[in-house]
Amino acid sequence: MDRVLVTGATGYIGGRLVPRLLDAGHTVRCLARDPSRLDGRPWRSRVEVAAGDLLRPETLPDALRDVDAAFYLVHSMRAGGPFEQADVRAARAFAHAAQAAGLRLVVYLGGLGDPAAGLSAHLRSRQATGDALREGGAPVCELRAAVVVGSGSISFEMIRYLTERLPVMVCPQWVYVRAQPIGIDDVLSYLAATLETSAVAGRTIEIGGADVLTYGEMMLGYARVRRLRRRLVPVPVLTPRLSSYWVDLVTPIPSAISRPLIEGLRNEVIVRDRAAAELFPGISPIGYEEAVVRALRDLEDGAVATSWTDAAGRESEPRRDETRLESGEGMIVERRRCHVDASPAQVFRVVCSVGGAAGWPYLDVAWRLRGLADRLVGGVGMRRGRRDPVELRPGDALDFWRVDAVEPDRLLRLRAEMLVPGSAWLQFEVRPEGPGSELVQSAFFAPRGLAGLAYWYLLYPIHRLIFSGMISELARRSAA
Protein backbone atom coordinates (compact mmCIF):
# COMPACT_ATOMS: atom_id res chain seq x y z
CA MET A 1 0.00 0.00 0.00
CA ASP A 2 0.98 3.67 -0.42
CA ARG A 3 2.65 5.94 2.09
CA VAL A 4 0.21 8.87 2.29
CA LEU A 5 0.80 12.33 3.73
CA VAL A 6 -2.17 14.08 5.35
CA THR A 7 -1.99 17.83 5.88
CA GLY A 8 -4.61 19.27 8.21
CA ALA A 9 -4.71 16.10 10.33
CA THR A 10 -5.63 18.21 13.37
CA GLY A 11 -8.70 19.58 11.55
CA TYR A 12 -12.25 18.36 11.07
CA ILE A 13 -11.87 16.37 7.83
CA GLY A 14 -8.25 15.30 8.26
CA GLY A 15 -8.76 13.97 11.78
CA ARG A 16 -11.49 11.63 10.47
CA LEU A 17 -9.69 10.66 7.27
CA VAL A 18 -6.53 9.39 8.99
CA PRO A 19 -8.17 6.34 10.67
CA ARG A 20 -10.04 5.57 7.44
CA LEU A 21 -6.72 5.42 5.56
CA LEU A 22 -5.07 3.34 8.28
CA ASP A 23 -7.93 0.83 8.20
CA ALA A 24 -7.47 0.57 4.42
CA GLY A 25 -3.87 -0.53 4.97
CA HIS A 26 -2.02 2.67 4.02
CA THR A 27 1.01 3.98 5.84
CA VAL A 28 0.05 7.46 7.02
CA ARG A 29 2.30 10.41 7.77
CA CYS A 30 0.77 13.55 9.27
CA LEU A 31 2.19 17.04 8.74
CA ALA A 32 1.71 19.38 11.70
CA ARG A 33 3.23 22.67 12.79
CA ASP A 34 2.94 21.48 16.38
CA PRO A 35 3.10 17.64 16.52
CA SER A 36 1.96 17.68 20.17
CA ARG A 37 -1.52 18.68 18.95
CA LEU A 38 -1.90 15.12 17.69
CA ASP A 39 -1.37 13.72 21.18
CA GLY A 40 -4.42 11.99 22.57
CA ARG A 41 -5.77 10.91 19.18
CA PRO A 42 -6.61 7.19 19.33
CA TRP A 43 -4.59 6.62 16.14
CA ARG A 44 -1.51 8.65 17.18
CA SER A 45 0.73 5.62 17.75
CA ARG A 46 -0.10 4.21 14.30
CA VAL A 47 1.06 7.18 12.21
CA GLU A 48 4.33 8.87 11.33
CA VAL A 49 4.48 12.55 12.25
CA ALA A 50 6.47 15.23 10.41
CA ALA A 51 6.90 18.69 11.89
CA GLY A 52 6.50 21.30 9.17
CA ASP A 53 4.84 24.54 8.16
CA LEU A 54 3.26 25.09 4.74
CA LEU A 55 4.38 28.72 4.86
CA ARG A 56 7.99 27.60 5.40
CA PRO A 57 8.82 25.69 2.20
CA GLU A 58 12.17 24.50 3.56
CA THR A 59 10.32 22.22 6.02
CA LEU A 60 8.38 20.35 3.31
CA PRO A 61 10.95 18.11 1.54
CA ASP A 62 11.55 15.96 4.64
CA ALA A 63 7.80 15.59 5.18
CA LEU A 64 7.31 14.46 1.56
CA ARG A 65 10.25 12.06 1.39
CA ASP A 66 9.16 8.57 0.24
CA VAL A 67 5.51 9.68 0.03
CA ASP A 68 3.34 8.41 -2.85
CA ALA A 69 0.26 10.60 -2.47
CA ALA A 70 -0.91 13.49 -0.29
CA PHE A 71 -4.18 14.95 0.95
CA TYR A 72 -4.22 18.74 1.11
CA LEU A 73 -6.89 19.57 3.69
CA VAL A 74 -5.73 22.99 4.83
CA HIS A 75 -7.81 26.11 4.36
CA SER A 76 -8.49 29.17 6.48
CA MET A 77 -11.97 29.54 7.94
CA ARG A 78 -11.87 33.14 6.81
CA ALA A 79 -11.41 34.60 3.34
CA GLY A 80 -10.13 37.82 1.91
CA GLY A 81 -7.02 39.87 2.68
CA PRO A 82 -4.08 38.11 4.33
CA PHE A 83 -5.96 34.86 4.94
CA GLU A 84 -6.71 34.26 1.27
CA GLN A 85 -3.18 35.30 0.25
CA ALA A 86 -1.63 33.01 2.84
CA ASP A 87 -3.75 30.09 1.60
CA VAL A 88 -2.52 30.59 -1.97
CA ARG A 89 1.12 30.95 -0.87
CA ALA A 90 0.89 27.79 1.20
CA ALA A 91 -0.71 25.84 -1.68
CA ARG A 92 1.96 26.98 -4.14
CA ALA A 93 4.76 26.02 -1.77
CA PHE A 94 3.23 22.58 -1.25
CA ALA A 95 2.60 22.11 -4.98
CA HIS A 96 6.25 22.74 -5.90
CA ALA A 97 7.49 20.49 -3.09
CA ALA A 98 5.08 17.73 -4.20
CA GLN A 99 6.33 17.94 -7.79
CA ALA A 100 9.96 17.82 -6.63
CA ALA A 101 9.20 14.76 -4.48
CA GLY A 102 7.57 12.98 -7.43
CA LEU A 103 4.14 12.45 -5.90
CA ARG A 104 1.75 10.53 -8.11
CA LEU A 105 -1.30 12.37 -6.72
CA VAL A 106 -2.32 15.34 -4.58
CA VAL A 107 -5.97 15.30 -3.40
CA TYR A 108 -7.61 18.57 -2.35
CA LEU A 109 -11.10 19.10 -0.91
CA GLY A 110 -12.46 22.41 -2.18
CA GLY A 111 -15.85 24.09 -2.42
CA LEU A 112 -18.71 23.71 -4.90
CA GLY A 113 -19.82 26.67 -6.95
CA ASP A 114 -19.95 27.84 -10.56
CA PRO A 115 -16.88 30.10 -11.14
CA ALA A 116 -18.88 32.07 -13.71
CA ALA A 117 -21.65 32.90 -11.22
CA GLY A 118 -19.91 35.62 -9.22
CA LEU A 119 -18.74 33.54 -6.28
CA SER A 120 -18.28 34.98 -2.79
CA ALA A 121 -14.75 35.76 -1.59
CA HIS A 122 -14.74 32.60 0.52
CA LEU A 123 -15.72 30.28 -2.34
CA ARG A 124 -13.32 32.05 -4.72
CA SER A 125 -10.58 31.47 -2.19
CA ARG A 126 -11.40 27.76 -1.95
CA GLN A 127 -11.14 27.39 -5.71
CA ALA A 128 -8.02 29.61 -5.96
CA THR A 129 -6.29 27.21 -3.57
CA GLY A 130 -7.01 24.36 -5.98
CA ASP A 131 -5.63 26.43 -8.88
CA ALA A 132 -2.44 27.12 -6.89
CA LEU A 133 -1.96 23.41 -6.19
CA ARG A 134 -2.11 22.68 -9.91
CA GLU A 135 0.63 25.21 -10.68
CA GLY A 136 3.36 22.93 -9.32
CA GLY A 137 2.96 20.25 -11.96
CA ALA A 138 2.13 17.27 -9.73
CA PRO A 139 -1.16 15.52 -10.66
CA VAL A 140 -4.02 17.02 -8.63
CA CYS A 141 -7.51 15.70 -7.96
CA GLU A 142 -9.82 18.40 -6.61
CA LEU A 143 -13.04 17.24 -4.99
CA ARG A 144 -15.62 19.99 -4.49
CA ALA A 145 -18.34 19.76 -1.86
CA ALA A 146 -20.96 22.06 -0.33
CA VAL A 147 -22.37 21.66 3.21
CA VAL A 148 -20.77 18.70 4.99
CA VAL A 149 -23.30 17.12 7.36
CA GLY A 150 -21.66 15.71 10.45
CA SER A 151 -21.37 16.53 14.14
CA GLY A 152 -18.56 19.05 14.39
CA SER A 153 -18.77 20.39 10.82
CA ILE A 154 -19.01 24.19 10.98
CA SER A 155 -21.74 24.43 8.31
CA PHE A 156 -23.83 21.76 9.99
CA GLU A 157 -23.24 23.24 13.46
CA MET A 158 -24.58 26.60 12.26
CA ILE A 159 -27.76 24.91 10.99
CA ARG A 160 -28.02 22.86 14.18
CA TYR A 161 -27.70 25.75 16.63
CA LEU A 162 -30.03 28.08 14.74
CA THR A 163 -32.70 25.37 14.54
CA GLU A 164 -32.32 24.17 18.12
CA ARG A 165 -32.44 27.63 19.67
CA LEU A 166 -34.96 29.55 17.56
CA PRO A 167 -38.60 28.34 17.38
CA VAL A 168 -39.33 31.16 14.94
CA MET A 169 -36.43 31.97 12.60
CA VAL A 170 -36.24 35.36 10.92
CA CYS A 171 -34.59 34.44 7.64
CA PRO A 172 -32.80 36.50 4.98
CA GLN A 173 -32.96 35.65 1.30
CA TRP A 174 -29.97 33.29 1.39
CA VAL A 175 -32.10 30.77 3.30
CA TYR A 176 -33.93 30.09 0.01
CA VAL A 177 -30.79 29.37 -2.07
CA ARG A 178 -30.28 25.75 -3.13
CA ALA A 179 -27.38 23.57 -1.99
CA GLN A 180 -26.48 19.89 -2.16
CA PRO A 181 -25.42 18.78 1.34
CA ILE A 182 -23.30 15.65 1.74
CA GLY A 183 -22.76 13.39 4.75
CA ILE A 184 -19.30 13.26 6.29
CA ASP A 185 -19.08 9.49 5.75
CA ASP A 186 -19.61 9.97 2.02
CA VAL A 187 -16.96 12.72 1.88
CA LEU A 188 -14.45 10.38 3.54
CA SER A 189 -15.41 7.56 1.15
CA TYR A 190 -14.75 9.78 -1.87
CA LEU A 191 -11.43 11.01 -0.47
CA ALA A 192 -10.19 7.50 0.30
CA ALA A 193 -11.38 6.16 -3.07
CA THR A 194 -9.21 8.64 -5.00
CA LEU A 195 -6.16 6.57 -4.07
CA GLU A 196 -7.64 3.54 -5.82
CA THR A 197 -8.84 5.30 -8.99
CA SER A 198 -6.09 6.36 -11.39
CA ALA A 199 -8.53 8.25 -13.63
CA VAL A 200 -8.99 11.01 -11.02
CA ALA A 201 -5.57 12.58 -11.67
CA GLY A 202 -5.95 16.02 -13.20
CA ARG A 203 -9.71 16.08 -12.60
CA THR A 204 -12.02 18.44 -10.72
CA ILE A 205 -14.87 16.31 -9.39
CA GLU A 206 -18.07 17.66 -7.83
CA ILE A 207 -19.55 15.58 -5.01
CA GLY A 208 -22.87 15.93 -3.25
CA GLY A 209 -25.53 14.00 -1.36
CA ALA A 210 -28.76 12.54 -2.71
CA ASP A 211 -30.84 15.68 -2.04
CA VAL A 212 -30.84 19.24 -3.40
CA LEU A 213 -32.36 21.53 -0.75
CA THR A 214 -32.56 25.17 0.22
CA TYR A 215 -30.93 26.12 3.51
CA GLY A 216 -34.41 26.68 4.90
CA GLU A 217 -35.38 23.14 3.94
CA MET A 218 -32.22 21.88 5.68
CA MET A 219 -33.25 23.66 8.88
CA LEU A 220 -36.77 22.26 8.69
CA GLY A 221 -35.39 18.79 7.89
CA TYR A 222 -33.17 18.97 10.96
CA ALA A 223 -36.19 20.05 13.01
CA ARG A 224 -38.18 17.02 11.77
CA VAL A 225 -35.43 14.64 12.80
CA ARG A 226 -35.27 16.26 16.24
CA ARG A 227 -39.10 16.46 16.50
CA LEU A 228 -38.99 20.23 16.90
CA ARG A 229 -41.67 22.59 15.60
CA ARG A 230 -40.01 25.45 13.73
CA ARG A 231 -41.23 28.28 11.51
CA LEU A 232 -39.33 30.38 8.98
CA VAL A 233 -40.23 34.06 8.52
CA PRO A 234 -38.54 35.67 5.46
CA VAL A 235 -37.04 39.15 5.96
CA PRO A 236 -35.39 40.56 2.82
CA VAL A 237 -33.36 43.31 4.57
CA LEU A 238 -30.92 41.14 6.54
CA THR A 239 -27.43 41.57 5.05
CA PRO A 240 -24.64 38.96 5.45
CA ARG A 241 -23.00 41.25 8.01
CA LEU A 242 -26.18 41.51 10.12
CA SER A 243 -26.81 37.78 9.71
CA SER A 244 -23.27 36.99 10.94
CA TYR A 245 -23.83 39.12 14.05
CA TRP A 246 -27.07 37.23 14.68
CA VAL A 247 -25.28 33.88 14.28
CA ASP A 248 -22.56 35.13 16.64
CA LEU A 249 -25.24 35.97 19.21
CA VAL A 250 -27.18 32.69 19.21
CA THR A 251 -24.45 30.15 18.32
CA PRO A 252 -20.85 29.49 19.39
CA ILE A 253 -19.61 30.43 15.90
CA PRO A 254 -17.95 33.90 15.91
CA SER A 255 -19.00 36.44 13.29
CA ALA A 256 -15.47 36.54 11.85
CA ILE A 257 -15.96 32.92 10.76
CA SER A 258 -19.70 32.88 10.06
CA ARG A 259 -19.70 35.99 7.87
CA PRO A 260 -17.64 34.56 4.94
CA LEU A 261 -19.71 31.38 5.17
CA ILE A 262 -22.97 33.34 5.05
CA GLU A 263 -21.72 35.47 2.15
CA GLY A 264 -21.10 32.21 0.30
CA LEU A 265 -24.69 31.09 0.90
CA ARG A 266 -25.94 33.49 -1.76
CA ASN A 267 -24.33 31.19 -4.35
CA GLU A 268 -26.15 28.06 -5.49
CA VAL A 269 -23.82 25.16 -4.74
CA ILE A 270 -25.05 22.01 -6.46
CA VAL A 271 -23.40 19.28 -8.51
CA ARG A 272 -23.45 20.22 -12.19
CA ASP A 273 -21.76 17.15 -13.69
CA ARG A 274 -22.02 13.42 -13.01
CA ALA A 275 -18.32 12.53 -13.09
CA ALA A 276 -18.36 11.31 -9.48
CA ALA A 277 -20.98 8.66 -10.26
CA GLU A 278 -18.92 7.41 -13.20
CA LEU A 279 -15.56 7.42 -11.40
CA PHE A 280 -16.81 6.02 -8.08
CA PRO A 281 -19.69 3.67 -8.93
CA GLY A 282 -19.40 1.94 -5.56
CA ILE A 283 -20.36 5.08 -3.62
CA SER A 284 -24.08 5.88 -3.28
CA PRO A 285 -24.45 9.10 -1.27
CA ILE A 286 -27.18 9.14 1.36
CA GLY A 287 -29.91 11.77 1.71
CA TYR A 288 -29.81 14.79 3.99
CA GLU A 289 -32.09 13.57 6.78
CA GLU A 290 -30.26 10.24 6.98
CA ALA A 291 -26.99 12.17 7.29
CA VAL A 292 -28.54 14.23 10.12
CA VAL A 293 -29.65 11.04 11.88
CA ARG A 294 -26.10 9.68 11.70
CA ALA A 295 -24.60 12.94 12.94
CA LEU A 296 -26.96 13.00 15.91
CA ARG A 297 -26.25 9.33 16.60
CA ASP A 298 -22.55 10.17 16.86
CA LEU A 299 -23.46 12.86 19.37
CA GLU A 300 -25.69 10.53 21.39
CA ASP A 301 -22.96 7.87 21.39
CA GLY A 302 -20.33 10.37 22.50
CA ALA A 303 -18.46 9.55 19.27
CA VAL A 304 -17.79 13.01 17.83
CA ALA A 305 -14.27 12.37 16.53
CA THR A 306 -13.37 15.89 15.37
CA SER A 307 -14.79 19.39 15.22
CA TRP A 308 -14.16 22.65 13.37
CA THR A 309 -12.94 23.99 16.74
CA ASP A 310 -9.99 21.56 16.68
CA ALA A 311 -8.16 24.02 14.45
CA ALA A 312 -8.09 26.48 17.34
CA GLY A 313 -5.43 24.44 19.13
CA ARG A 314 -4.89 24.00 22.81
CA GLU A 315 -5.90 27.49 23.78
CA SER A 316 -9.39 26.09 24.41
CA GLU A 317 -8.15 24.09 27.41
CA PRO A 318 -8.53 25.82 30.76
CA ARG A 319 -5.45 26.62 32.79
CA ARG A 320 -4.88 24.82 36.05
CA ASP A 321 -7.61 25.41 38.64
CA GLU A 322 -9.64 27.36 36.05
CA THR A 323 -13.20 26.71 34.94
CA ARG A 324 -13.99 26.89 31.24
CA LEU A 325 -17.56 27.02 29.90
CA GLU A 326 -17.81 26.59 26.13
CA SER A 327 -20.04 25.30 23.35
CA GLY A 328 -19.19 23.07 20.42
CA GLU A 329 -20.40 19.99 18.51
CA GLY A 330 -23.95 20.67 19.70
CA MET A 331 -22.88 20.50 23.34
CA ILE A 332 -22.32 22.86 26.24
CA VAL A 333 -19.18 21.88 28.14
CA GLU A 334 -18.03 22.90 31.60
CA ARG A 335 -14.43 21.79 32.08
CA ARG A 336 -12.27 22.00 35.22
CA ARG A 337 -8.76 20.79 35.90
CA CYS A 338 -6.45 20.67 38.90
CA HIS A 339 -3.13 19.18 39.98
CA VAL A 340 -3.24 16.29 42.46
CA ASP A 341 -0.33 15.13 44.62
CA ALA A 342 -1.02 11.47 43.92
CA SER A 343 -0.31 8.92 41.21
CA PRO A 344 -2.77 8.45 38.31
CA ALA A 345 -3.69 5.03 39.72
CA GLN A 346 -4.55 6.54 43.12
CA VAL A 347 -6.60 9.35 41.60
CA PHE A 348 -8.46 7.00 39.28
CA ARG A 349 -9.28 4.64 42.16
CA VAL A 350 -10.86 7.52 44.09
CA VAL A 351 -12.79 8.71 41.01
CA CYS A 352 -14.19 5.22 40.44
CA SER A 353 -15.44 5.01 44.03
CA VAL A 354 -18.11 7.71 43.66
CA GLY A 355 -21.81 7.03 44.10
CA GLY A 356 -23.73 4.10 45.50
CA ALA A 357 -23.69 3.59 49.26
CA ALA A 358 -20.58 5.81 49.59
CA GLY A 359 -22.45 8.79 48.18
CA TRP A 360 -21.06 11.62 46.07
CA PRO A 361 -17.95 13.57 47.05
CA TYR A 362 -19.59 16.96 47.58
CA LEU A 363 -23.12 17.99 48.66
CA ASP A 364 -24.36 14.42 48.57
CA VAL A 365 -27.75 15.62 49.82
CA ALA A 366 -28.18 17.68 46.63
CA TRP A 367 -27.47 14.58 44.49
CA ARG A 368 -30.08 12.61 46.46
CA LEU A 369 -32.67 15.38 46.13
CA ARG A 370 -32.04 15.38 42.36
CA GLY A 371 -32.55 11.63 42.34
CA LEU A 372 -35.80 11.96 44.29
CA ALA A 373 -37.09 14.60 41.88
CA ASP A 374 -36.21 12.35 38.95
CA ARG A 375 -38.04 9.39 40.49
CA LEU A 376 -41.15 11.50 41.16
CA VAL A 377 -41.45 12.32 37.44
CA GLY A 378 -40.93 8.72 36.34
CA GLY A 379 -37.14 8.55 36.04
CA VAL A 380 -34.71 5.99 37.45
CA GLY A 381 -33.72 8.10 40.47
CA MET A 382 -30.85 7.08 42.75
CA ARG A 383 -32.28 3.70 43.78
CA ARG A 384 -30.06 1.56 41.52
CA GLY A 385 -26.79 2.19 43.39
CA ARG A 386 -23.82 0.41 41.84
CA ARG A 387 -22.75 -3.20 41.19
CA ASP A 388 -19.41 -3.04 43.03
CA PRO A 389 -18.13 -0.47 45.55
CA VAL A 390 -14.77 -0.05 43.77
CA GLU A 391 -14.81 -1.53 40.25
CA LEU A 392 -16.68 -0.04 37.31
CA ARG A 393 -17.22 -1.63 33.90
CA PRO A 394 -18.78 -0.20 30.72
CA GLY A 395 -22.54 -0.68 30.92
CA ASP A 396 -22.71 -0.62 34.73
CA ALA A 397 -25.51 1.37 36.36
CA LEU A 398 -24.26 4.02 38.79
CA ASP A 399 -27.19 5.71 40.55
CA PHE A 400 -28.85 7.72 37.75
CA TRP A 401 -25.80 7.36 35.48
CA ARG A 402 -24.67 4.60 33.13
CA VAL A 403 -20.95 3.89 32.66
CA ASP A 404 -20.16 4.77 29.06
CA ALA A 405 -16.42 4.16 28.98
CA VAL A 406 -13.61 3.08 31.30
CA GLU A 407 -9.91 3.24 30.47
CA PRO A 408 -7.96 2.09 33.55
CA ASP A 409 -6.05 4.86 35.31
CA ARG A 410 -6.98 7.29 32.53
CA LEU A 411 -10.67 7.90 31.78
CA LEU A 412 -14.16 7.38 33.19
CA ARG A 413 -17.23 8.65 31.30
CA LEU A 414 -20.76 8.48 32.70
CA ARG A 415 -23.95 9.01 30.70
CA ALA A 416 -26.95 10.54 32.49
CA GLU A 417 -30.11 8.41 32.57
CA MET A 418 -32.18 10.81 34.66
CA LEU A 419 -34.93 12.66 32.77
CA VAL A 420 -33.46 15.82 31.25
CA PRO A 421 -34.35 17.85 28.12
CA GLY A 422 -31.29 16.68 26.25
CA SER A 423 -28.33 14.35 26.80
CA ALA A 424 -25.68 14.69 29.50
CA TRP A 425 -22.33 13.13 30.36
CA LEU A 426 -19.85 13.49 33.23
CA GLN A 427 -16.26 12.65 32.37
CA PHE A 428 -13.06 12.34 34.40
CA GLU A 429 -9.60 12.19 32.82
CA VAL A 430 -6.38 11.51 34.73
CA ARG A 431 -3.02 12.42 33.23
CA PRO A 432 0.52 12.09 34.63
CA GLU A 433 1.91 15.50 35.59
CA GLY A 434 5.32 15.76 37.19
CA PRO A 435 5.47 13.76 40.43
CA GLY A 436 1.67 13.73 40.64
CA SER A 437 -1.33 13.84 38.31
CA GLU A 438 -3.69 16.20 36.55
CA LEU A 439 -7.41 15.60 37.02
CA VAL A 440 -9.73 16.98 34.32
CA GLN A 441 -13.45 16.95 35.07
CA SER A 442 -15.88 17.75 32.25
CA ALA A 443 -19.67 18.04 32.27
CA PHE A 444 -21.21 17.75 28.79
CA PHE A 445 -24.80 18.67 27.96
CA ALA A 446 -26.47 18.48 24.54
CA PRO A 447 -29.68 20.51 25.00
CA ARG A 448 -32.84 19.68 23.11
CA GLY A 449 -34.42 22.95 21.97
CA LEU A 450 -35.12 25.92 24.20
CA ALA A 451 -36.20 23.71 27.11
CA GLY A 452 -32.73 22.19 27.20
CA LEU A 453 -31.01 25.58 27.17
CA ALA A 454 -33.31 26.87 29.93
CA TYR A 455 -32.60 23.75 32.02
CA TRP A 456 -28.83 24.19 31.73
CA TYR A 457 -28.65 27.88 32.50
CA LEU A 458 -31.28 27.88 35.27
CA LEU A 459 -29.48 25.09 37.13
CA TYR A 460 -25.97 26.20 36.26
CA PRO A 461 -25.35 28.09 39.55
CA ILE A 462 -25.98 24.95 41.62
CA HIS A 463 -24.15 22.76 39.08
CA ARG A 464 -21.16 25.09 39.23
CA LEU A 465 -21.08 24.87 43.03
CA ILE A 466 -21.37 21.07 43.03
CA PHE A 467 -18.85 20.43 40.25
CA SER A 468 -16.33 22.84 41.79
CA GLY A 469 -16.63 21.17 45.18
CA MET A 470 -16.50 17.69 43.66
CA ILE A 471 -13.16 18.08 41.86
CA SER A 472 -11.63 19.68 44.96
CA GLU A 473 -12.85 16.84 47.18
CA LEU A 474 -11.66 14.18 44.73
CA ALA A 475 -8.21 15.81 44.71
CA ARG A 476 -8.15 15.98 48.52
CA ARG A 477 -9.17 12.33 48.93
CA SER A 478 -6.62 11.20 46.34
CA ALA A 479 -3.78 13.06 48.05
CA ALA A 480 -4.83 11.65 51.43
pLDDT at 237: 65
3 state SS of 382? coil
Average pLDDT over residues 287-305: 76
Reported as a single tens digit per residue, the pLDDT across 64-87 is 999 999 999 987 654 444 567 888
Residue range 313-339: mean pLDDT, rounded: 63
- What DSSP character marks residue 146? S
Could you report the per-residue pLDDT of 276-287, keeping only the tens digit for each?
Answer: 999 999 999 999
Mean pLDDT of the chain: 85
Q: Tens digits of per-residue pLDDT, 4-34?
A: 999 998 888 998 999 999 999 999 999 998 8
CB 417 within 8 A of CB 402: yes
State how far the Cα of 257 lies from the Cα of 168, in Å rounded to an integer: 24
Q: How far apart are CA 247 and CA 32, in angstroms?
A: 31
Cα 307-309-315 angle, rounded to 5 deg: 135
pLDDT at 195 over 50: yes
Residues 248-254, mean pLDDT to the nearest whole number = 67
| 128 vs 154: which has the higher pLDDT | 128
| Angle (deg, nearest 10), helices 255-264 and 121-134 | 80
pLDDT at res. 326? 57
Give residues with Cβ within 8 angstroms of 378, minimum separation 6. Answer: 419
Predicted pLDDT at 6: 96
Most confident of 118-127, 148-157, 229-238, 287-296: 287-296
Gap between the Cα atoms of 337 and 332, Å rounded: 17
Largest CA distance in the chain: 70
Residues 6+ apart with CB under 8 A from 251: 157, 158, 161, 162, 165, 258, 327
**DSSP-assigned states of every residue in 384-400:** T-BS-SS---TT-EETT
pLDDT computed for residue 207 by the predictor: 97
What is d(CA 335, CA 406) in angstroms, rounded to the nearest whole number? 19
Cα distance between residue 343 and residue 339, in whole Å: 11
Mark out the alpha helices in 321-448 (DSSP H runs): 344-351, 364-376
For residue 316, what pLDDT is reported?
43
Which pLDDT band, with edges at 50, 70 and 90, does 170 fall under?
confident
DSSP 226-269: HT---EEEE-TT--HHHHHHHHHHHSSS-HHHHHHHHHHTTS-B
Q: Place 156 in a pLDDT band, splitting at 50, 70 and 90.
A: confident
CA 305 to CA 460: how far, in whole Å?
27
Helix (H) or strand (E) holding 186: helix 184-193
Domains and CATH numbers, the chain: 3-301 (3.40.50.720), 317-479 (3.30.530.20)
Taking only the tens place, the pLDDT of each residue in 398-427 is 999 999 889 999 999 999 999 998 888 999
The pLDDT assigned to 136 comes to 87
5 closest CA partner among 45, 65, 57: 65
